[in-house]
């Protein structure tokens, strides 16, 4: 577990299949098919869908940049 330097929230890291480390929100979510939100599985795959409260059998993580209030300011630099 580490802390995002931008917003101070706890984040986790997943090693992507590309070898890059991706910052994610530590709370996993259920993902329903359809939709264009990006999620990261714990195996390092990128999937798209919609976050849901319903147990769809697909569990993935929200990339931290999707929710980080400081992310836009990172990008501007």
Residues binding Zn ion (CB under 5 A): 4, 6-7, 68
CB of 40 to Zn ion, least distance (A): 15
Is 7 or 32 the residue whose CB approaches Zn ion more closely? 7
The C-alpha atoms of residue 26 and residue 15 are separated, in whole angstroms, by 14
The minimum distance between CB 68 and Zn ion, in angstroms, equals 3
| Between 7 and 16, CB nearer to Zn ion | 7
């Amino acid at each position: 577990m580490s802390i995002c330097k931008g917003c101070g929230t706890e984040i986790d890291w997943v090693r992507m299949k590309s070898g890059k480390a991706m910052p994610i929100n530590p709370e996993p979510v259920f993902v329903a098919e359809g939709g264009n939100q990006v999620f990261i599985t714990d195996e390092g795959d990128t999937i798209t869908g919609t976050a849901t409260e319903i147990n769809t059998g697909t569990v993935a993580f929200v990339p931290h940049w999707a929710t980080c209030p400081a992310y836009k300011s990172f990008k501007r630099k």
